[in-house]
Amino acid sequence: MLGFDYGTSNCALGIMSGNKPELISLAGHGAYMPSSLYAPGREVIVNWLQQQLGPQAKAELTGQRRFQLQKGQSMLRELALDGISGDLFFGKQALNRYLEDPSEGYYIKSPKSFLGASGLKPQQIALFEDIVAAMMAHVKQLAEQALQQDLHQVVIGRPVNFQGLKGEESNKQAIDVLTNAARRVGYRDIEFQFEPIAAGFEFEAGLERETRVLVVDIGGGTTDCSMLLMGPELMPSLDRSEHLLGHSGQRIGGNDFDIQLALKSIMPQLGMDSSLKTGKPMPVNSYREAVAINNINAQTEFYSAANGRFLQQLKRDAEQPELVERLQQVHREKLSYQLVNSAEQAKIALSDSDSCVIELAYLNSRDADISADAGRSLLLDAARRELTNICELMQDTVEQAGCQPQAIFVTGGTAKSPALRDYLQARYPDSKFIVGDNFGSVTAGLTRWSHRIFS
């Protein structure tokens, strides 16, 4: 009976220990495995997955992915000739492998961000299903090793909306991918629970009286808000629908804050705020596409051959061509994730400091001291639109509920930022404002719910 937070930023599993949820240590990852995967080639992911499955699941996958498996087998032979292993890497190991040589291999961070994307072709959905299944298989194996037991029942967290566009159609697409992947790796009983509600369950365990709670879960890819009626007398109920007074969600999350900070602090070092020789401002579309790691279409466009030619012309037209040359390097060496990771590390550093320096030596070996400055005020300015949207989600939930919250419970990694947290708190000065376990609240709540419904 597991709670599984397959998050945009991290994956975590929980199990009840007595009357308290306990996060499971995932070997070298610890309690939280960053949601990232690295493969020597995209084509071999399904081949690796096939080797992790039981006989029946393996036979089903073989029937459904025959062409992809053949293509992957051909690539594995080529890799073997070059002395390269066909192994997959997960979490921080995946990021480290990518950073060793961004131009090689296949790296993906936060695949959950793409599951509800509109316009995905069947082969793209199949690829995401294989990626999710590979990650689930990995963490399930580690959890089973840690607990010394087979695991078959799971409650998986889900946002209110996976994608802003196409609403329920996008949600169904994403839930189907997660369900198929979970079933493939050996989960028999699979249930879902809204992530903000799960986070609320954990908060509820500490309440002494009935309270109206606005739960704000700022995840890596989505922000979800729920107004819940909570209290010790309500906890035993298996049907909490009448206690859910309102909820809303949108595809705004920690990744978006990282992207906006990258645009504001890093991209000027690549020429975004510079001028053309004609005196006109630099076109910014390629700069935005370069860091849009949660947008498949934007990344496809940025790394296209046509955009490579456009950047070459842009360099010739630029007043400071040496800056545009750095953007060309991003295109040539596939550095998008590295840029956004630099911004993410700066955002984390700004939780404890008013300012920091973003080292960018990897952008140009001839100019090893290149860097960018970042501060809390810059982060707040960069994230203004996202914060405004989150406030609108909170207000929409309050209006649905028809009452004001007595407490606001904020969770998710982005809630660690004092600048962002203070901005939200200022909008509701009359409500008690509580910041929860930034990563563990959702997992703990999912674990409590799993124990409740499967016992």
What's the CA gap between 346 and 343, in Å, rounded? 5
Res. 164 pLDDT band, cuts 50 70 90:
low
Task: Quote the pLDDT of residue 2.
Answer: 95
pLDDT band at 441, cuts 50/70/90?
Answer: confident
Could you name the CATH architecture of 2-187? 2-Layer Sandwich (3.30)
pLDDT in tens, 270-306: 999 999 999 999 999 999 999 999 888 899 999 999 9
Most confident listed range (155-169, 189-203, 245-259, 313-327): 313-327
Domain segments of the chain: what residues?
2-187, 209-252+384-436, 255-382
Confidence bin at 116 (pLDDT 50/70/90):
confident
Fold type of domain 209-252+384-436? Nucleotidyltransferase; domain 5 (3.30.420)
Q: Mean pLDDT, the chain, as a whole number? A: 91
Say if 2-187 and 209-252+384-436 have the same CATH topology: yes
The token pair at 14 is 């929980």
- Which pTM does this prediction carry? 0.83
Looking at residue 196, what is its pLDDT?
Answer: 86
Q: Which residue from 7, 32, 24 is spatially nearest to 149, judged by alpha carbons? A: 24
| Averaged pLDDT for residues 374-382 | 94
The whole-number pLDDT of residue 399 equals 95
